[in-house]
Amino acid sequence: MGLAEHSPKKIGVLIGGSGLIGGGITHHFKTKVDDGVDLRAPNSKKLSLRVPEDIKNYITGLKPDFIVNAAIAAIDADPQLAYETNYLGTVNLARMAAALRIPYIHISSSAVMPSGENLAEEDMLPLSAGLPNYAKSKLMAELTLRDLMKNQGLDYTVIRLAVVYGKHDHKIQGFHRLFFSIVDQALPCMLTRRGVMHSYSNSKKVPRFVQHVLEHRPEFTGQTINFADRNPVELAQLILTIRSYLELGFPKEIYIPYALAKVTRLLLRKFLRILRHAGIEARLPAELLFMENFYRPQTLSVARLAASTWQDPGPETTVFTYLPSMIEYYVTRWEHLNLIEPFDKEFFDPKKRAEEFLRSPEILLETVHRENRQEGAPQG
């Protein structure tokens, strides 16, 4: 059932339409949702989250029926940019939504949660000055949305994502930065330890869930939902599977202890500081700010999601089943951009499964069975 079947044509505003999640939401509403919804995705020249007047003027002039915020500052952004984009921008958007009495959908991150297993939506880090700018600003945003619901009647839903994977991440960040490091042979050893599990979120499913949440407001009003695949994944196994698909020599299956990894990061920071003093622009990879997460598990409970009216369109999809198509997409793209050395296509085969047969036969079996069902489906 589409949004248009509930009411006349609606106007929505999406902030962050150039990112992996925001771009997917825009594409979904433009191509998969009927003509009952007109989703606007203003660029930063029309609406900057860092300028409160931009938000007020745009939203007041348009008077939308809902707002979706998928915008984020870079995870290594300085305090001012993280505060103004991730926190202040979120609050100003939410205040406008509260004033107009319209739904506000906020895309958040598991960065607001501690390490641990089977974490529920209520499991959040304590707010402190020592948190990274990204985690601090996203945590503050969630806490203020709760306060706005209590004091201004805000109709909001927080969709909290785990490690996001998918195609069309043109900024190469998060999981795709790790993926790029493996493809580029820049990761010589394993910056993790055996058995460290994480939850993963499929970017392609998020837009459908946003639509579902908008169509079922009474169920999702005031709710925070962990939106992730039902089964967590071991980071080491994922790294080695990517390596085996690409038939690479690195990273070697040598696990660097966390204490040694921290010392290496400290030395790298000092070296980069020397380069900057010499006039050479160089920065520490942003993901190394969260290096401790490579060594600590973080798995999210999806019990609340499973108990809702949401029906997962692909419950068997995992980051493993998505890897072959992601490898083909990103390797081709990065080659075209001259970011990596060209692969020999005669030997390049992302679906090669000898290593997978050796390491994870259950995943291989699941993949083959799914392909059997797809190939045997009647053609429409």
pLDDT at 345: 54
Yes or no: say if 142 and 108 are a contact pair by the CB < 8 Å rule.
yes
Q: How confident is the model at residue 378 (pLDDT cuts 50, 70, 90)?
A: very low
Q: pLDDT tens-digit profile of 106-132?
A: 999 999 999 999 999 999 999 998 888
Q: How confident is the model at residue 370 (pLDDT cuts 50, 70, 90)?
A: low
CATH superfamily placement of domain 1-162+199-231+298-305: NAD(P)-binding Rossmann-like Domain (3.40.50.720)
Could you give the CA distance from residue 187 to residue 36 in angstroms, rounded to a whole number?
48
Decide the pairing of beta strands 233-234 and 197-198: antiparallel
Q: pLDDT tens-digit profile of 189-209?
A: 888 899 999 999 999 999 999
Both tokens of 292, joined, read 């401790």
Could you give the CA distance from residue 17 to residue 107 in angstroms, rounded to a whole number?
12
Yes or no: say if 66 and 104 are a contact pair by the CB < 8 Å rule.
yes
pLDDT at 72: 87
Could you give the CA distance from residue 319 to residue 302 in angstroms, rounded to a whole number?
16
Q: pLDDT tens-digit profile of 81-99?
A: 888 889 989 999 999 999 9
Domain boundaries, the chain: 1-162+199-231+298-305, 167-198+233-296+318-366
